[in-house]
Structure 1
């Protein structure tokens, strides 16, 4: 039976409106990324011509070594995921990471779509819904904590050593340190207190309700009940796996710093380790900006700007940062896409194997 426009359910129009808003946001985000990347060299005091020439001169062997370093970082992070979900293999963890990133990197707020894909994959591996919820909370929490703590420590070190003496960069770093401290306090408070978790759930419910009213959707949020329950299961996992996850996320971040430093060294920018760490810290923070996928455009500009402010050359730094982001952002899309195809093929074979064979 087909549905005519006059027979549409009340929820149909809001649903179309919501899809339209998401499509519009995707187009706007893509335009923002392209615009920022096009003007990035000019913002940094150079142009695309010398930057592209530097990138074109990177030998294939160097690219392969950088790819190996990138993969080593991703493999290190699988220890975070396997600790957050006991029973998960490292191969499955790597697939979850790459496929989720592939989806998240192609749309603003694409993390939700990536979580949806990961949910389908984890359910196909016979894990429960509650285990997935705890896994998502713990793994994302440790990712955020790793970025925030690392960035906060590096930026605080910059302030304490007097490396930044004046100007807008100094003001931005001071503001970032204060904001990071407040965010960390809020996260730790939500973990340590049932009351705080319930209060955060109430605030989220009110925010979601306001958004749903804008698109005239009848859906309701119950985070006031969900968050306290999720907090309890999250704390239980953290109590047993915090050491493994902390070591793993530290190893992952250090390998990422090494990848950025290797890109800079390869393109003739031999900067001090502290300076490289500062650029990396800023880049990691900007990946949390949900305006564009993985902070694309903003992260490259901020990272390169920090490195140049601390003594790097405009051409070499711009090329090195784009090369680094080519691995940590762009390459994840096709590699993760292949992972999605492999999983879909596996699921198709499994379904065919379950179909009973009939005989004449």
Structure 2
């Protein structure tokens, strides 16, 4: 099942009213930002910090934390994501593009030539060199990127008085991680911090999610979700459930997924061929089966069928297998024949969506 085993130091109670997706988006980014800015960077009230890639997960977390610590925050992001930075309280004078090097001059002007005290970096190559020039003696450069790691002594020689630190959250260790988690949750409960915008992808589409991230299209966090298992106490509706495909799906759900309550619908219901045998097989496998005559394309009939599902076994899953075949060449098609095929599939799908969208389905 969708379980993970970890030490208690890495666990914390999900805040009231949060979804699992919101909870999943919190730990890594906020812990990384907190550990970098506070533990390693020693960011203090009245100082200034430059957060690169400010519209990403760690970036948005860092901006919130730095503002809470009382620091002046500057950030970069692609221009199309600047609204995300503005939503965190940054004005345009504290925002620059992460696509070019103009942020150096922009932020020098904004600080009357002082630059910034801390840089939280995830960029590479000339962006690193440009950012280092913004740091005065006593400045701290925090490198969380993995693609352009420099040697601290060489950085120190080129930029006297600047501390260059490469870090990874795992270095914090279990005890410090737990302390930071507790502190972060306190800040969320007090309203000092707020969850990040996120986009969810089914874990089975992980490849698409990573492609989306690689194209730098996301703002905030991308979260992979695991399909929820079907509740054995709930009812699963299979439209077209008395047909060949519907019957195979029903057997699979009972034998392999542990489903114990099935509602099989079709236009003919119990008059359909093979229903008695199918019902007997499913019952022998341990399922309670209800067969109903219902045209899912008929909204009123479908609504009545759904309303008849007992409260003890509420609807928790829907499989739309209803459909008819009417093979024909393109030249012989008529609007009536097209409608005959599309009605049980498309109209029924619309009805199912509208009538169940507020239900807690797996």
TM-score by length of 1: 0.20
Rg: which structure is higher?
2
Q: Which structure is higher in strand share?
A: 2
RCO comparison, higher one (Cα < 8 Å, 6+): 1
